[in-house]
Structure 1
Amino acid sequence: MRKELRFAGFGGQGIQLAGIILGRAAALYEDLYAFQTQSIGPEARGGKSRCEVVISDNPRDYPKVRNLDILIAMSQEALDSYISDLDSGKILIYDPDMMTKHPERDDITIYKIPATKAAYELGNRIVANVVMLGALVELTGVVSKDSIKKAVAESVKEKFIELNLKALEKGFELGKKAKGEVC
């Protein structure tokens, strides 16, 4: 088993943290191996941000993305930069509220998850990344819901645990809804 994922957006969206949380869920609670790499533009906050996670059952697996399975795009620049890395039959999950134009490909499975809007409704836009994690888990089953809940609770400051767990649950809801609305 090998899954290759890329979270992409801009600095300040929690792209790196999303990858760390997913890797933690896989490695600590799923008895899998997780490799996480990241890239942040020189502007940091507001600049291009990317995080890749490879989840595998092989401890000697190659730690870099070779054949992207899932792209999670949280900005137009990220979508434009990386959608071509998805081969036919792969998955795109994106935040439509952060886009000026929407993807037009009929050879991949596309899910729209309004993570930023949901985060605002929860009272804090900084949890859009966790909303997206919840949707990812609901849509793909890459890790279990219990594993991702544990990893979220361990990865955020104590005063933000409740908010992040609510964001995760909202992501599960949005993912379930998106299953019936595949683009």
Structure 2
Amino acid sequence: MAERYEIRFSGAGGQGLITAGIILAEAASIVEGKSAVQSQSYGPEARGGASKSEVIISDGPIDYPKATVVDACLAMTQEAADKYANGIKPGGLLLLDSDFVKNEPKGDFKIVKMPIMRTAKEDIGREIVANVVALGAMIALTDVVARESGEKAVLAKVPEAFLELNKKAYNLGFEKVKALIN
């Protein structure tokens, strides 16, 4: 891993992407002992407007808490792709929800497409865990934390009644994206 690794989760407000960012930061910092910061922003409309969560992970101290050149970005909606896929470094990565992002942003980065919301709805039976499916996919694509660290952080964050649901969602996102790239 590079000295500083920046990941952006983006989509619509209410999709749980800020939570996904928090879980990733906790996987890096609490589980693996790395330095990590998480920041977020969203439009004035709490639900439905574009929102983003950024996580910076480093082996050493983080001197600036905002993403500057993003290594990997997730875009769950077309609006998020249009607004937040900028700033991905050359050779970086963009994960798109293939059902909701039809116009791919242009840039010198690799694009991976996966039906994230549909996977949550059809394979898990609950759209509400799409953020955890996406988190599993991003960890599989970036290797920024170990698979087990991500799972441990997910399970530490969700209510006990939803442990199995979220564990299944995380692992499904991880496995499905690994199958896409291999």
TM range (shorter): over 0.9
- State the match for 2:97 in structure 1: 95
Verify the 8 A CA contact 2:8 2:54 in the aligned structure 1: yes
Question: Contact 2:72/2:94 (CA < 8 Å) preserved in 1?
Answer: yes
CA distance in 2, matches of 1:45, 1:51: 15
Q: Which amino acid aligns with 1:109?
A: K
- What is the alpha-carbon distance in structure 2 between the residues aligned to residue 172 and residue 16 of structure 1? 19
Q: In the TM superposition, what are the counterparts of 1:29-40 in structure 2 within 5 Å?
A: 29-40=31-42
Task: Tell me how large the CA RMSD over aligned residues is.
Answer: 1.2
After superposition, residues 33-182 of structure 1 pair within 5 angstroms as 33-105=35-107, 107-121=108-122, 122-180=124-182
Relative distance call for 1:60 and 1:95 in structure 2 (3 A) is closer
Aligned to 1:27: 29
- The answer (yes or no) to whether the contact 1:8–1:51 under 8 Å persists in 2 is yes
**Contact 1:26-1:34 at 8 Å conserved across structures:** yes
Q: Distance in 2 between matches of 1:30 and 1:88?
A: 27
Residue identity matched to 2:110:
T
* TM-score for both structures, normalised by structure 1: 0.93
Q: 1:41 Cα shift?
A: 1.4
Q: TM-score, normalised by structure 2?
A: 0.93
The number of aligned residues is: 179
For 2:86, what is the secondary structure of its paired residue? helix
- Structure 2 runs not aligned, ≥5 long: none
Q: Is the 8 A contact 1:130 1:167 kept in 2?
A: yes
Q: Which amino acid aligns with 1:128?
A: A
**Which ranges of 4 or more aligned residues in structure 1 deviate by more than 4 Å?**
none
CA distance in 1, matches of 2:9, 2:62: 23
Give the SS at the match of 1:109. strand
CA, structure 1 residues 80+60, in 2 after alignment: closer, same or farther (shift >3 Å)? closer
Measured against aligned partners, the alpha-carbon deviations of 1:62-110 in whole angstroms (never above 9, x if no partner) come to 21111111111111001001222113211101111112323344x2111
What CA distance in whole angstroms lies between the structure 2 residues aligned with 1:30 and 1:89? 26
Provide closer, same or farther for how the CA distance between residues 34 and 60 of structure 1 changes in structure 2, counting only shifts above 3 A: closer
- Contact 1:96-1:102 within 8 A present in 2 as well: no
Partners of 1:113 and 1:132 within 8 A in 2: no
